[in-house]
Amino acid sequence: MKKIIKILIGLLVLIAIIMGVLTYFLKPSDRLKNDERLWNVSDNVDIDSYNKKVFRNASIDKGKLVSEIKIDNYNFKKLLKYGMSHNGNAELQEASYRLKDDRILVSYPLKIWIWESQVDLESSLTNAGNDLVFTVESAKLGKIKMSKKMISRVMLKLKESGYGNMKIIDNRIYIKLNVPNINIRKASVVSDNLKLQVFLSKDNIINIQKEIIDTLVQ
């Protein structure tokens, strides 16, 4: 009987140690705060102000009007919220997004059984037409660095769940940026800022001018 009790006590101690180790490694070093989540950000984007910035910084290149827009962290979140709101991406608004150096840092809350954990992604940014393309470069689950295989599994589960019109291919997430009349030539992150190089066709210019005039006379 004593031997059985000792074995049971040993098993309980072992389970307690395993639970403690899991708790330590699944707890993120920098936990996501509620006020950092994207759903707390306004999606009220003033498209006219971006149109005016385009004209202000414009030049002619190969017969097209080209320009560059620099967007800070605050306005990047607003644009992202605007895009997700119009594409039905409610789940992804649980996460936080910020620009850091030449990367985008994403923190997404994740519950694993009894543990409140978190996935932290580091991604680079490019574009495919007017789609912003987030390429996941590295990821952590709590304090555990995820392998490329683990990242692929997470992306596959995300793809199977389906989030509005968001598209996932391998380790890339495509989110359409709904900015009428502006075509994106290049998207990148530089020194905590999102840089968009854009171009406009003749029809785009006419439409933007009409929108600005309509705004002024309202």
Span 71-123, pLDDT tens digits = 888 888 887 787 777 665 667 788 889 999 999 998 888 888 888 888 888 99
Residue 159 has pLDDT above 50, yes or no: yes
Q: Which residue has the higher pLDDT, 68 or 135?
A: 135
Residue 99 sits in which domain range? 2-217
Q: Supply the DSSP string of 98-133, one letter for each residue.
A: EEETTEEEEEEEEEETTEEEEEEEEEEEEEETTEEE
Tokens of 189: 């992150």
Total domains present in the chain? 1
- Structure confidence at residue 124 (pLDDT): 93
Mean pLDDT calculated for residue range 28-55 = 75
| Full-model pTM | 0.74
Span 180-205, pLDDT tens digits = 667 788 889 998 998 888 877 656 65
